Structures are given as structure tokens and as C-alpha cells.
A = this chain, B = another copy of it.
Amino acid sequence: MGQGQRSAAVTLGLPSWVDGVIGAPGTAFPTVDARMAVVIALARQNVERRSGGPFGAAVFESETGLLVAAGVNRVLQAGASIAHAEVLALTLAQRRVGSFDLSAAGLARHELVTSVEPCAMCLGALVWSGVRRVVTGARDADARDVGFDEGPKPPDWVAALEQRGIDVVRDVRRDDACAVLAAYRASGAPVYNPRRHP
């Protein structure tokens, strides 16, 4: 192993089929329902194509509905436990706008739309990202029901976000998002979870 490998970089990306789901650049998703529909379509395609876990997310401009960046779960495929849909969408959005802070001066207001309520890691990640609103589909309890762990979240995480000026809109197309979780379990794909190694 050479010295160079020790400071090697890591690259996280999305499957090429994502472009076909989110449409051409400039496509706007005017309503919360339309934004959640495309995010759930990402999650469903990720299950059907066996390219990751049953989770999709995207960052939108709140006002215009422009989709800035999408994400799907890539933990197993990327060999990286941080590769949650939300982390990919937020990080790709920051690259797109050229700022680590999506609420930097001069930028449009941004929001994260995610097919399942965020785990502990993504809860922190979305606070640091600068999004001003979070829209969620399935509840974290729905994810736990199919065997996923949501991690050490504060019990009052919705209030914690709202105290930080981040609005939370829950249960948008919850049934559709739950159907993707159920399809994943039915597919027999692995419900990865370090908690299984006590």
C-alpha cells in the first residue's frame, strides 16, 4: 500500500437511470405532492433495479419547484454507510449551487423531500445543509417495521428542527412510500444494519 492511498479520496455517485426518472434539467415540480411523487419513484426504481435500499430524496427550490439534485440509497453498492439518499441529494445540491450552505445569501430557499423520515445521521446532515424545509413520506416507525434502524434521534426531532427555523411537513404520500418499503422486504434484498452485530 503506497502513501498516496492513505489520503485517497472517496467518490459517491448515483446510478445513470436516475436522469430518466427526474426528467430533463429545468423540469419543475410545482406542488409538494409532485415533489414527493418523483422522490418515491426514485426509491421504487432503486428497489426494482436492485441498485440500493428503498429510499429516495431530492433537493428542490421551494419557490420554483426546480429539482436541484436527487439521491437514492447506495450503501451496499458504494460500500459506504453514509451513502443515504438524503446525504447524496444534499451534497450534490451543494455542489450544484456552489456552496456548502444551501441558505447562503443570494440563493433561493431550498427544501429536502425524502421518501422516509430521516435517520439520526441524515437529521444532522439536513440541519448543516441549509435547507429550510423538510418534506417526508413514510414515518421512521414504518422503516423500523421492515427492519431498518433509524439510530439515536432525539425523540422530539421535529420540534428540534422547527426551533432551528426548518419547517417539517410529514406524511405526504405516506402509503406510497410504505409500499416501496414493503416491496423491498418482499424482494428479499438485504436489510443492512450494523445493530445485527452486537
A residues touching B (Cβ–Cβ < 8 Å)?
Answer: 1-16, 18-19, 22, 24-25, 69-70, 75-76, 78-83, 87-88, 90-92, 94-96, 98-101, 103-105, 119-125, 127-130, 149, 151-155, 157, 160-161, 164-165, 192, 194-195, 197-198
Within 8 Å by CB of A11, from B9, B70, B79, B105, lies B9
Nearest chain B CB to A121's CB is how many angstroms away? 3
6 contacts between A and B (CB under 8 A): A82-B125, A101-B192, A101-B197, A124-B124, A127-B195, A152-B153
Please give the count of copies of this chain that the complex contains. Answer: 2
Q: Is the CB of A127 within 8 A of B151?
A: yes
Q: Check A81/B25 contact, CB under 8 A, given A9-B11, A11-B9.
A: no
Q: Is the CB of B69 within 8 A of A125?
A: no
Q: Check A25/B3 contact, CB under 8 A, given A99-B79, A100-B80, A129-B81.
A: yes
- Give chain B residues whose Cβ lies under 8 Å from the Cβ of A154: 152-155
Q: Is the CB of A130 within 8 A of B194?
A: yes
Q: Is the CB of A194 within 8 A of B95?
A: no
